[in-house]
Amino acid sequence: MIELQDIAYVRSGVADLRAAVHFATDVVGLELVASDEQGVAHLRADARHHCLALVAGRSGVLASGFTVADEDALEGAERELERRGLAVRRLDAAAARSRRVRSGIAFDDPFGNRLELVAQQEFLARPVAFGRAAGITGFGHLCLDAPDVHEAYRFWSATFNAKVSDWIGDAACLMRIDPVHHKLAVFKGDGPGLCHVNFQVASIDDVFRNWHFLVEHGVEIEMGPGRHPQSTAVFIYFLGPESFTYEYSFGVRRIEDDAAWRPRTFDPAEPGSIDMWLGPTSRPVTQPQARDGLPDGAASAAPSGAPAQVPAASLSD
Amino acid sequence: MIELQDIAYVRSGVADLRAAVHFATDVVGLELVASDEQGVAHLRADARHHCLALVAGRSGVLASGFTVADEDALEGAERELERRGLAVRRLDAAAARSRRVRSGIAFDDPFGNRLELVAQQEFLARPVAFGRAAGITGFGHLCLDAPDVHEAYRFWSATFNAKVSDWIGDAACLMRIDPVHHKLAVFKGDGPGLCHVNFQVASIDDVFRNWHFLVEHGVEIEMGPGRHPQSTAVFIYFLGPESFTYEYSFGVRRIEDDAAWRPRTFDPAEPGSIDMWLGPTSRPVTQPQARDGLPDGAASAAPSGAPAQVPAASLSD
Amino acid sequence: MIELQDIAYVRSGVADLRAAVHFATDVVGLELVASDEQGVAHLRADARHHCLALVAGRSGVLASGFTVADEDALEGAERELERRGLAVRRLDAAAARSRRVRSGIAFDDPFGNRLELVAQQEFLARPVAFGRAAGITGFGHLCLDAPDVHEAYRFWSATFNAKVSDWIGDAACLMRIDPVHHKLAVFKGDGPGLCHVNFQVASIDDVFRNWHFLVEHGVEIEMGPGRHPQSTAVFIYFLGPESFTYEYSFGVRRIEDDAAWRPRTFDPAEPGSIDMWLGPTSRPVTQPQARDGLPDGAASAAPSGAPAQVPAASLSD
Amino acid sequence: MIELQDIAYVRSGVADLRAAVHFATDVVGLELVASDEQGVAHLRADARHHCLALVAGRSGVLASGFTVADEDALEGAERELERRGLAVRRLDAAAARSRRVRSGIAFDDPFGNRLELVAQQEFLARPVAFGRAAGITGFGHLCLDAPDVHEAYRFWSATFNAKVSDWIGDAACLMRIDPVHHKLAVFKGDGPGLCHVNFQVASIDDVFRNWHFLVEHGVEIEMGPGRHPQSTAVFIYFLGPESFTYEYSFGVRRIEDDAAWRPRTFDPAEPGSIDMWLGPTSRPVTQPQARDGLPDGAASAAPSGAPAQVPAASLSD
Amino acid sequence: MIELQDIAYVRSGVADLRAAVHFATDVVGLELVASDEQGVAHLRADARHHCLALVAGRSGVLASGFTVADEDALEGAERELERRGLAVRRLDAAAARSRRVRSGIAFDDPFGNRLELVAQQEFLARPVAFGRAAGITGFGHLCLDAPDVHEAYRFWSATFNAKVSDWIGDAACLMRIDPVHHKLAVFKGDGPGLCHVNFQVASIDDVFRNWHFLVEHGVEIEMGPGRHPQSTAVFIYFLGPESFTYEYSFGVRRIEDDAAWRPRTFDPAEPGSIDMWLGPTSRPVTQPQARDGLPDGAASAAPSGAPAQVPAASLSD
Amino acid sequence: MIELQDIAYVRSGVADLRAAVHFATDVVGLELVASDEQGVAHLRADARHHCLALVAGRSGVLASGFTVADEDALEGAERELERRGLAVRRLDAAAARSRRVRSGIAFDDPFGNRLELVAQQEFLARPVAFGRAAGITGFGHLCLDAPDVHEAYRFWSATFNAKVSDWIGDAACLMRIDPVHHKLAVFKGDGPGLCHVNFQVASIDDVFRNWHFLVEHGVEIEMGPGRHPQSTAVFIYFLGPESFTYEYSFGVRRIEDDAAWRPRTFDPAEPGSIDMWLGPTSRPVTQPQARDGLPDGAASAAPSGAPAQVPAASLSD
């Protein structure tokens, strides 16, 4: 079994990098980290160098990254995944540099989601220079799509140290890899994709101030403000450019006594299963997995066909 | 100086008693206390026998009641108020019975609000049988109108043990008579009236569940959900029948170190002064003071002219 | 104002001393303290030498005793009571000895209850040798009768350091002289008398074990098991010989923040006002004040007319 | 060994569904969950969708359900039970839906009690809408009958993670599967059946208020109020329709240090072994196991012979 | 004696308003509060609307403001100061509005420092929008000059509720008006003036990050980083435009037990008296009191001679 | 795997022993422990007899010592190291005596750093007689050089119980062998050598007092005062004679929950990675490993060729 240490980042391809970065910094409030890499915008939310990389090119999520303990662990994971029949590729130096990791591997989960395992993700010591005072305290979790969440659970719990924390019927499986109720979720969806990315905020006040800010700035609210009965987090989901859904939340449950926790199953058709405040609910928009050509950064000879105006990205992504 | 012990009740005249009681029980969630008194509905929120009495007759707030320590204190208050030039009347036996107090006095504040001081308000030991599971934990505060809140403060702080906790410019003076940030507020208004009555709820979840309930049932939301920066309470204001504004709130500040507290002044024109979450705000609707004829229950020979269908009320109110 | 330190004892006249002592020891569980004084049985519940003295003779309560700080305080109390127009008599040496106090005074309250104030009540260091393992931890409170409990409150609060803790309408006034919710109660009754004497027990289990014990032994249960909403104590009242009512209770409230306490008024006609568990309630039987002839132990030449078979009592009571 | 996670539900057949539901909601205080399934009433006490299902048809307990961790665990349990020689049947889709579980298996214990193991029991996020304010906080435990409680213990401890917490001689074996003193008990009885179902209440006051409520409404009290020395819970047992015994209790012991606990044995013939308050005791009435025809929901072609007026039940139960 | 509640603000005249505001926001990190008042820049550090007002015109400190409890307290202060022979002037409406107070008075201390007492300083509920992430948590203290600090102490302690916390020989008197070690200091100086204004920061890291930031941006460091032995605060002093000295500090001592505190005297000639880390020390630069013409905002007909390009300031300052 | 218990000492060859000892005692503040061993100065910082031995002779670090549990552990380590192909030599009696250990072994790590493992290092019970009141509380950590810190990590984590606590890119690997964030560090360097030796001080005040002391005494400050984001320690590095770098620091992080710690990677090129206060940084000067001739104290027949003026050292080092 492969020990995931933490979630590391999401990489997402965007057709309009300028607009996506504007939204990520001026609306969501992330920091745009200065970089000499063209065509890639690194967005920071906490001590990690970045947890979101927007890559100029075709729209669509490119990869979701998780950390393992060190390079030996990475090698072990590589062997384990191949033993299970998955095709694994090493990230080349440019790809690793773009992700600010020492080394990494890429592979697709059985449902088509591109996953990356990496060693030694870079941290920055200086305070985050947030683009807006949204109260963000860090990268909370990421949520992927799969056609059958029970199958997805079997994959994650058999391959990794992921444990189910709660079920929302056939609609979602919420999983933990540390005491946080879920750092990884899988939602039922037709194909592979990134359902949403979550950022934790410092107080319930931040959730509500952000709600009014988003409404005033014409941002589409997908769901909330509400409160999830599973994690007890107060949430708001909103839609960024190119079908990328963001979530702010506060107050996520920590499962300190791992052995005593009993996963619960909530029927999404029952009132309150999604929002215990009983507000209207809707399924967040998923950004589909980018599927054209070869994975970025894989040690492959195939050309990536990146557009002229984002040459740096064409090298590493 | 007269020592107020607590807020006791609000009495409000309603033209349509059935509709007002329906709203108070089925929407707000209060208990209708069984009683043999016709034309008066006693509504209960906590251990008090009632904190809201709806009296069939002309619309308009009739009185706001406060408790004093005992009958000796009541006599002292009577003398003190008369010394200050206020006309004070004793409640007769029927009026006292209707209020479930042993004895009481009635007088008008300098702005025309009818106030009552009472001794030995009755408490009920059995659990409250709430009309709806709104999460109410008790009667929180009452808010009156006055044309000049600074004048109102001078009256309350000179006559009673009321202290200002915070100012909202010229718009409101929030006062405490115990550690709760405010049990009494005065809002700027053209004439005397009851701005709103507040009920505390048990959790922030209750505020939001009630919000959705109210919206689903077509109740007019006046303001909120939001959070007051003065008391830190999360609130929602909504309008009941006959211009009676109710508020639910959770998380009101307690001022435990009375001597260390510094009242603050917030300019209502500045963003966040009413709702620190920066949502839209509006002034709650005030139910004007009922002003026709003599005060209910005063020791007077004048007939009250109560309508035929509510004969019991005509005796005591 | 006279500072009462604590309740000291109750003296009660009994026609059948043997039967009364049997009940007090074998049923209630008190210790019969060995003594060379004939005709008086001293019954012990805690460190006090005794808190109940049964005196052979005519049935009826003889006196209720309270301690003051010292002999100076006793003299001051004597003067204060006389200033208020009450007839006060000194206890003679034999009377003081019988009560195990250094000195004392006796007088009647305005309602005819004989009261005694004493200095230096004797304590015993050895453990109590209980007559039965009823779990008694000490003398809890005593309750007197008066025709008007509001008048009684005026007497007690004006003359002594007694404060009302809660009202049961016109039926009862519960008063404290230390943090215990009430050590003194006055119940509405036609004439002077002792309504009941309370003993605290160590656990709720003791209340219920005693209940079954009493039922099995054919003792008349007057009320309970139940729980008083005022003091939160779980209680059971039962009837001893010669109309003497005993109460066991557990869990009496302590009012630690004296200034913050607000007395409450409960209407005895409302369900739960006497027993918050909503069980059937009834008024405990009062033992009337013994009223024939002169008070026992007063410095008087008048004969007591005690019967021949209890000569010792005829000397001191 | 099969890991039970928790108790899930009891299913009971009732000849008069209307009367049984009336008792469960208006007397016991459970919520009747709205459902489109005819002939089955789902009754809710806590976050579980239901913990009691009343099924129109012949009287008698149908099954007792327990949860396992997930579907893999369920498959493992199936294999394990078959390895031990027990006949195991899968619940079909309608049966699983009726139980609000994702999947399940059914089998009989060696004593004839029908047991079900299920994965992913549904939880409801909205607050419970109790039928009466009985103070219920949740499904506490269930108790089955077996002719020899020592044999029963051997079965449960060898097959499952059940541990004995305490013995009542040959009369009862109290077992835990989590820190609660017992979630499962086996009482000595002639044949298979459900001895009683326990609901926890929020305070000792609720036990006693419910006692008076039951007495006033003519419900047969089987035992109590009393206190079990094993679990320290204060209890009351009462009889519902069709020989179904309910228990309320408060204050059940939690065994936090599992390894340190030493099971104790109490002789039922000794006073206090059942009720440490020493009240009268009696054996609760058991509802016998329904034994005619095939188990409900088992993957079988046999008709269930359900009566015409409850057609939905005839399909799944 | 006049009860000061807190420090309120400093007003300072600046010849180059643009440069001074640039420094205050982009270097110091304060928020420039939007306002329709021309010629005055309101700078915010905490919940107060502003604690520094820069007023276009001649260079020099204009006034130091302190709050009193309410308007009655202000009137009392006015009478008390006049009784002591000081010339007191009421702030007119425009001056009060410019300071965001309800009302105020102005007078000179015996050393020529202009002081203002105000009632109801305005607070803003929204979070501070800092100009730079300097870590500021609030307005810490202000320091005035006087030729004799012992005389100054006599004035402050006799007139106000100011207490000396510590002495630095004849060089400085550090005074408190609440638990903070000093909110007011007087340094020995030739004439009246503002020695420096202090802002508290959230951590020691902020002090040092700010130090490097200031050095990199060519700001003149006057003293520090160092640590004051009196308040235990880690400090850095730096010079803004027009001789205005700012201080950041972290970790100021709170004197919670006011009665137990014993003021100490440190000889400035001894090493470590100013900086317990023994670094080089120097006297901060004082901005002299503006002395030409009449005080701004005093109820006077005299023209203020404000320059044409800042007309709004000419009305109120 | 070999269990290191703690760091023990550093031995360093110095051409000018007098100057080096003067610096170590009068500047750094260590105690010179009296000894009859000529040519070796034992310097003490805590209970250890010494943690720094300056050995007259050629300049260059001689060895870094670590303790193992006992002599059996030492033998085990010897075998383990030889099994891994390392040449291991036993310390002779004189060498062991000079190190104040019972026994020891010496070997070179794969990068050329001389390491020694020892059993039973001597402790002194008397307080340390510091050469200067620098506030030293103990020997903090030692830092070696290696050309590839990832290779070094593989050596240390495979051979010993060393765990990485944090990475500074390719520049440094910080390792723990107990809860202290790092007692051992490896910095990237061209050849083997001692990068620096760290001493902990008692307070942040000591760091800063020492800073001013060093500046005043003309000592070259290499880096700081600053704060490491990895260990959170406030530090200052300074250069002693013969390229020997000392560090004072305060506030090093302790990793109490070993399993929960996630090593982080900081890019040294990013601001704040070395000094989170963002001050200027520079690489400390390394004292190269002494490489001429045979290791001191190894059980070897080869002459040591020590110079005449340090005869004692020629015997044991």
| Average pLDDT over chain F, rounded to an integer | 91
pLDDT in tens, D177-194: 999 999 999 999 999 999
Integer Cα distance of E296 and E308 in angstroms: 16
Integer Cα distance of A30 and A35 in angstroms: 15
At C304 the pLDDT is 31
* Least Cα separation, residue B280 to chain E (angstroms): 14
Contacts of B262 in chain E (CB under 8 A): 5-6, 67
Residue range C265-286: mean pLDDT, rounded: 94
- Subunit contact D276:C225, Cβ cutoff 8 A: no
pLDDT in tens, F252-272: 999 999 989 999 999 999 999
Copy the structure tokens of residue C228: 């008083």
Q: Does B227 touch chain A (CB under 8 A)?
A: yes
Radius of gyration, alpha carbons of chain D: 18
CB C104 within 8 A of CB C91: yes
Residue range E205-230: mean pLDDT, rounded: 97
The secondary structure element, H or E, covering residue D12 is strand D6-14
| pLDDT of F292 strictly over 90 | no
The stretches of chain F forming alpha helices (DSSP H) are 17-22, 71-83, 93-99, 149-159, 204-216, 311-316
How far is CA A204 from each of CA A30, A134, A163, A248, rounded to the nearest angstrom?
19, 11, 27, 10
In 3D, which of F169, F167, F172 has the Cα closest to residue F188?
F172
Residue of B nearest to E67 (CA): B262
CB F105 within 8 A of CB F8: no
Q: Answer positive or negative: Cα dihedral of A9, A15, A18, A23.
A: negative
- Subunit contact F226:E213, Cβ cutoff 8 A: no
| pLDDT of C286 strictly over 50 | yes
Integer Cα distance of C272 and C261 in angstroms: 21
Nearest by CB to A209, which of B204, B205, B278?
A: B278
Copy the structure tokens of residue D315: 């399909």
CB C119 within 8 A of CB C71: yes
At B291 the pLDDT is 76
Q: Poorest-confidence range of B165-169, C116-120, C313-317, F48-52? A: C313-317
CB E100 within 8 A of CB E122: yes
Query: What residues contact F50, with CB distance under 8 A and at least 6 apart?
Result: F9, F33, F42, F43, F44, F100
- Subunit contact C270:B5, Cβ cutoff 8 A: no
Half-sphere exposure for D90 (CA within 13 Å, toward CB)? 12
The stretches of chain D forming alpha helices (DSSP H) are 17-22, 71-83, 93-99, 149-159, 204-216, 311-316
Report the relative pairing of strands E287-288 and E193-201 from DSSP bridges. antiparallel
Contacts of B278 in chain E (CB under 8 A): 126
At E273 the pLDDT is 92
Half-sphere exposure for B141 (CA within 13 Å, toward CB)? 25
pLDDT in tens, A154-179: 999 999 999 999 999 999 999 999 99
- Subunit contact A133:E133, Cβ cutoff 8 A: no
- Subunit contact A70:F263, Cβ cutoff 8 A: yes
Q: Looking at chain C, which subunits does it touch, using at least 3 CB pairs closer than 8 Å as the criterion?
A: B, D
For residue D294, name the pLDDT band (cuts at 50, 70, 90): very low
Copy the structure tokens of residue A57: 């090119």
| pLDDT of D301 strictly over 80 | no
* At least 3 CB pairs under 8 A between chains B and E: yes
How many helices (H) and strands (E) chain D has is answered by 6, 19
Integer Cα distance of E226 and E279 in angstroms: 7
Contacts of B49 in chain C (CB under 8 A): 267, 270
| Average pLDDT over chain C, rounded to an integer | 91
The complex's ipTM? 0.86
Contacts of D207 in chain B (CB under 8 A): none
Residue of B nearest to D133 (CA): B129
Q: In chain B, which residues have pLDDT < 50?
A: 293-317
Q: Does C164 touch chain B (CB under 8 A)?
A: yes
CB E90 within 8 A of CB E105: yes
Report the relative pairing of strands E163-168 and E264-266 from DSSP bridges. parallel
Integer Cα distance of C47 and C138 in angstroms: 8
CB C186 within 8 A of CB C126: no
How far is CA F121 from each of CA A84, D17, F6, F109, rounded to the nearest angstrom?
51, 82, 10, 22
| pLDDT of F291 strictly over 90 | no
Bond from prior residue into D179 cis (ω within 30 degrees of 0): no
| Average pLDDT over chain E, rounded to an integer | 91
Integer Cα distance of D220 and D209 in angstroms: 15
Q: What is the 3-state secondary structure (H, E, C) of chain C?
A: CECCCEEEEEEEEECCHHHHHHHHHHHHCCEEECCCCCCEEEEECCCECCCEEEEECCCEEEEEEEEECCHHHHHHHHHHHHHCCCCCEEECHHHHHHHCCCEEEEEECCCCCEEEEEECCCECCCCCCCCCCCCEEEEEEEEEEECCHHHHHHHHHHHECCEEEEEECCCEEEEECCCECCCEEEEECCCCEEEEEEEEECCHHHHHHHHHHHHHCCCCEEEEEEECCCCCCEEEEEEEHHHEEEEEEECCCECCCHHHCCCEEECCCCCCCCCCCCCCCCCCCCEEECCCCCCCCECCCCCCCCCCCCHHHHHHC
- Torsion angle, alpha carbons of D246, D247, D253, D258, to 10: -20
At B50 the pLDDT is 98
Q: In chain A, which residues have pLDDT < 50?
A: 293-317
Using DSSP, state whether A141 is helix, strand or coil.
strand
pLDDT in tens, C133-158: 999 999 999 999 999 999 999 999 99
Nearest by CB to A271, which of D5, D126, D178?
A: D126
pLDDT in tens, F133-156: 999 999 999 999 999 999 999 999
- Subunit contact A276:B211, Cβ cutoff 8 A: no
- Subunit contact C164:B100, Cβ cutoff 8 A: no
| pLDDT of F166 strictly over 90 | yes
Integer Cα distance of A103 and A120 in angstroms: 7
Nearest by CB to B123, which of C153, C164, C266?
A: C266
* Least Cα separation, residue D54 to chain B (angstroms): 26
| pLDDT of D297 strictly over 60 | no
- Subunit contact F276:E213, Cβ cutoff 8 A: no
Integer Cα distance of D297 and D93 in angstroms: 8
How far is CA D61 from each of CA C42, D30, D57, D148, rounded to the nearest angstrom?
61, 18, 11, 20
Total residues found in chain B within this entry? 317
The DSSP code for F260 is G
Distance of CA C204 to the CA centre of its chain: 22
At A317 the pLDDT is 37
* Least Cα separation, residue B184 to chain E (angstroms): 18
Q: Does E129 touch chain A (CB under 8 A)?
A: yes
| pLDDT of E50 strictly over 50 | yes
CB D11 within 8 A of CB D296: yes
What DSSP assignment string belongs to F186-246? EEE-SSSEEEEEEEEESSHHHHHHHHHHHHHTTPPEEEEEEE-TTT--EEEEEEEGGGEEE
The residues with which F267 forms a beta bridge, in sequence order, are none
Q: Does D255 touch chain A (CB under 8 A)?
A: no
Residue owning tokens 């009193």:
E68
Integer Cα distance of C295 and A150 in angstroms: 89
CB A68 within 8 A of CB A3: yes
- Subunit contact E124:B265, Cβ cutoff 8 A: no
For residue E291, name the pLDDT band (cuts at 50, 70, 90): confident
The secondary structure element, H or E, covering residue D66 is strand D60-68
- List strands edge to edge, sheet with B114-119: B31-33, B40-44, B52-56, B6-14, B60-68, B114-119, B103-108, B89-90
At C292 the pLDDT is 55
Radius of gyration, alpha carbons of chain C: 18
Radius of gyration, alpha carbons of chain B: 18
Nearest by CB to B273, which of E70, E101, E125?
A: E125
Query: What residues contact B269, with CB distance under 8 A and at least 6 apart?
Result: B169
- Subunit contact D129:B133, Cβ cutoff 8 A: yes
| pLDDT of D164 strictly over 60 | yes
Chosen for mutation from E36, E126, E177 (greatest number of chain B CBs closer than 10 Å) is: E126
Nearest by CB to C265, which of B6, B102, B126?
A: B102
In 3D, which of F295, F316, F314, F315 has the Cα closest to residue F86?
F295
Q: How many CB pairs under 8 A join C and D?
A: 36
Chosen for mutation from C265, C278, C281 (greatest number of chain B CBs closer than 10 Å) is: C265
- Subunit contact E276:F204, Cβ cutoff 8 A: no
Phi then psi for D241, rounded to 5 degrees? -65, 150
Q: Does D278 touch chain B (CB under 8 A)?
A: no
How many helices (H) and strands (E) chain A has is answered by 6, 19
